[in-house]
Amino acid sequence: MKQTLILGGGVTGLAAGLASGFPVYEATSQAGGICSSYWVRPGNAERIHETPQDGRCYRFEIGGGHWIFGGDQAVLAFIGSFVELRSYVRMSAVYFPERRQIVPYPLQNHLHHLGPDLASRAMADMLAPSGTTTTMRDWLAHHFGRTLCEEFFFPFHDLYTAGLYDRIAPQDAFKSPIDLAAVKRGARGEGDDKVGYNARFVYPANGLSALANVMAARCDMHFDATVVRIDPRSRLVHFADGSTVPYDRLISTLPLSTMMELTSLSVDVPADPFTSVLVLNIGARRGPRCPDQHWVYVPFSRAGFHRVGFYSAVEPDFLPAGDGARAEKVSIYVERAYPGGAKPSREDQDAFPHEVVEELQEWGFIAGAEVLDATWIDVAYTWSWPGSPWRERALRVLEAQDIFPVGRYGRWVFQGIADSIRDGLMVGSALRPFDPSKELLS
């Protein structure tokens, strides 16, 4: 029997599965995609996927710290109906390693930390914007001016976009809020850090996996089912184990570029680019200058990472319980971006954790590390070339074959967990079988 299938059991696929009852096919043996937690015991390398009874483990997330920001109130209420949510006020900063200085985020609202000379030059630049805004680099130069771009925005975006920032279109302006009145106040030392898209966030009391697992328990899940080919003509999905499943419609949460390859469909323009991320989770003893922030953005690091997050600054239960040593420990995630799919060699992957630890020790963030655990995220951030019609055309080609891409990767947009869940709920509800006469009578 042909039916609608959902591809991918991350939060988007789970929301679509919940809303529709359609079966969800997931490549791995876990629900939640990159939004799932796992545990590692100090001095050990094994990942534990169930909450350990004794709690003597570091808790990490596959894709690094995943805090639920933004989102419609209705979606937050939906999430809150499954798990207890705790609320937080974001504490983030920019860290300048050369002068070992922490400046609250957003940098442009805290110019007085940079000293009077830099602050007045940065301010003068920002009050007289110039140039075009075709690429992300142009956009940054136009809005923040030469001084701040050289100090932070250019080197940070170079790392964050793996060198693409001078060729891709500007994107996600909301991540770099510009309010000249706030800039002026910040130059006088009255900085405002409660701005931007993630100034407040929520997080499940028992970790993200609690949310994914409770959603998955209500879905028709098919784990260890990796899609390797889709035949839109015969409407068959082929899996890695050689099995096939017929479909009449597909809801896909897989990256748009992957779907074009799996279906062998094409459009006549070059595909938009993406970046991959190597996430390194670290359990360590706190160093003497370990920040209290939830995360810091870094314009330069020898090991090439652009952000260091501190799970345990959000919640101490990311640390091993029981030995009274929580105050001495820290649970960290570090992100390094790579051009799309350019996975480093095994030797480079093995060297990376040690380079990061050495650097974080030099900065005083950590003392000895007792857990190092890395994950490669092949499609992490999606971008577009200036003026590129690729995304729209690819979506149209797939939709013409009754394949409905959904979510952050499916639709090639920057969005977080809450918006991905909203999209999954919407598409699942829209495509579920609907018999108006029955619905009206019941």
Ligand X SMILES: Cc1cc2nc3c(=O)[nH]c(=O)nc-3n(C[C@H](O)[C@H](O)[C@H](O)COP(=O)(O)OP(=O)(O)OC[C@H]3O[C@@H](n4cnc5c(N)ncnc54)[C@H](O)[C@@H]3O)c2cc1C
Measured from the CB of residue 439, what is the shortest distance to ligand X in angstroms? 28
Q: Which listed range, 66-74, 156-164, 214-222, 350-358, lies at the site for ligand X (CB under 6 A)?
A: 66-74
Q: Does 34 bind ligand X (CB under 6 A)?
A: yes
Question: 36 and 183 in contact (C-beta within 8 Å)?
Answer: no
Measured from the CB of residue 381, what is the shortest distance to ligand X in angstroms? 6
Measured from the CB of residue 108, what is the shortest distance to ligand X in angstroms? 22
Q: Does 26 bind ligand X (CB under 6 A)?
A: yes
Q: Residues in contact with ligand X, total (CB under 6 A)? A: 37
44: tokens are: 């050990």
Residue 277 vs 403, nearer CB to ligand X: 277
Q: Does 409 bind ligand X (CB under 6 A)?
A: yes
Q: Which listed range, 27-35, 160-168, 208-216, 339-347, lies at the site for ligand X (CB under 6 A)?
A: 27-35
| Cβ neighbours, 10 Å, residue 59 | 26
Q: Does 415 bind ligand X (CB under 6 A)?
A: yes
Question: 333 and 311 in contact (C-beta within 8 Å)?
Answer: yes
List beta partners, residue 339.
275
Candidates 253, 263, 275, 382; binder of ligand X (CB under 6 A) is: 253
Q: Does 9 bind ligand X (CB under 6 A)?
A: yes
27: tokens are: 């490549």
Burial class (CB in 10 A: 0-12, 13-18, 19+), 52: middle
Candidates 136, 420, 425, 431; binder of ligand X (CB under 6 A) is: 420
φ and ψ at residue 35, rounded to 5 degrees? -95, 50
State the alpha helices, DSSP H only, in 128-217.
Answer: 136-148, 154-160, 180-187, 208-216
Q: Does 76 bind ligand X (CB under 6 A)?
A: no
- Contact string (CB under 6 A) for ligand X, positions 340-369, x = contact: ------------------------------
Q: Does 90 bind ligand X (CB under 6 A)?
A: no
Residue 9 vs 320, nearer CB to ligand X: 9
Q: Does 37 bind ligand X (CB under 6 A)?
A: no
Q: Find the angle CA(225)-CA(274)-CA(203) to the nearest 5 degrees.
A: 70
- Which residues lie below 8 Å from residue 261, measured CB to CB, with a gap of 6+? none
- Which residues lie below 8 Å from residue 72, measured CB to CB, with a gap of 6+? 418, 422
Candidates 377, 398, 427, 431; binder of ligand X (CB under 6 A) is: 377
Amino acid (one-letter) located at 184? K
- H or E stretch including 338? strand 329-339
Distance separating alpha carbons of residues 357 and 366, to the nearest angstrom: 8
Candidates 58, 67, 96, 152; binder of ligand X (CB under 6 A) is: 67
Q: Does 66 bind ligand X (CB under 6 A)?
A: yes
Candidates 64, 186, 291, 299; binder of ligand X (CB under 6 A) is: 64
Q: Does 206 bind ligand X (CB under 6 A)?
A: no
Under rule CB under 6 A, which residues in 185-204 are in contact with ligand X?
A: none
Under rule CB under 6 A, which residues in 213-252 are in contact with ligand X?
A: 225-227
Query: How is the beta sheet containing 295-297 ordered, strand by strand?
Result: 101-104, 92-96, 295-297, 307-310, 329-339, 274-286, 366-382
Binding positions for ligand X, rule: CB under 6 A: 7-13, 25-28, 33-35, 63-69, 225-227, 253-254, 277, 335, 377, 380, 407-409, 415-417, 420
